[in-house]
A and B are shown apart, each in its own frame.
Chain A
Amino acid sequence: GAVVSQHPSRVICKSGTSVKIECRSLDFQATTMFWYRQFPKKSLMLMATSNEGSKATYEQGVEKDKFLINHASLTLSTLTVTSAHPEDSSFYICSASKGAQETQYFGPGTRLLVL
């Protein structure tokens, strides 16, 4: 149990376009979902925390207009990278938990390459 999926697993897009990444909890209801970014050979950096039905809380330095997060249901959160640029190329990982203080279950990640 406690499986989290992400779609797509990898995406290549042109600079200036927007890309949507989905994060789904397959067998549990995720009250809270987290979005992380991981640079090559670097640690995971938390971008934002989203609670179902409310606005996401962004970490300092993360542009909320650039990285749109929607958590409209208890099993789905989406991250939209708007007007993507090459510097947005990265590995994006989501996690989901049954509550803010509960164990986080991680998705497999999405590799984004912006040309």
Chain B
Amino acid sequence: AQRVTQPEKLLSVFKGAPVELKCNYSYSGSPELFWYVQYSRQRLQLLLRHISRESIKGFTADLNKGETSFHLKKPFAQEEDSAMYYCALSGRAGGTSYGKLTFGQGTILTVHP
């Protein structure tokens, strides 16, 4: 079975402060990890995926297979970063096929001015 855990439901920081949203996963095979973001009243959209190793809007995330983590980081948070962030995993184990996403519970990030 695959599982994604985001231990923080709420995270508050001040503008300009570093931010780290935690994500841990459980998966027996080779995972693909994603971060999705949902701004207020908008649809879910892909922020980044680990295989592309991109930095989007200043956010980065490194897959740590030893710690089974995929934490999302940004050195200087901005007010417009306030949103709901979901960590998600895609993989294959047993009868599960690639492409299916398992989402974490989500973390609401609030960046104060």
Q: What is A's interface to B at a CB cutoff of 8 Å?
A: 4, 32, 34, 42-46, 49, 57, 93, 95, 97, 99-109
Tell whether, in the assembled complex, residue B99 and residue A44 are in contact, meaning their CB atoms are under 8 Å apart: no
Tell whether, in the assembled complex, residue A46 and residue B45 are in contact, meaning their CB atoms are under 8 Å apart: no
Residue of A nearest to B90 (CB): A101
User: Within the complex, which residue of A4, A43, A103, A108 is in contact with B106, where a contact is CB–CB below 8 Å?
Assistant: A43
Per the bound structure, the CA–CA distance linking A103 and B46 in Å amounts to 8
Given contacts A99-B99, A104-B46, 16 further A-B contacts (CB under 8 A): A43-B106, A44-B44, A44-B101, A44-B103, A45-B103, A46-B100, A57-B97, A93-B43, A95-B44, A100-B97, A100-B98, A100-B99, A101-B99, A104-B99, A105-B46, A108-B42
State the main secondary structure of chain A at its contact with B.
Answer: strand
Residue of B nearest to A5 (CB): B43
Q: What is B's interface to A at a CB cutoff of 8 Å?
A: 36, 42-46, 49, 86, 90, 97-106
Residues of B within 8 A of A108 (CB): 42-43
User: Within the complex, which residue of B45, B102, B105 is in contact with A106, where a contact is CB–CB below 8 Å?
Assistant: B45
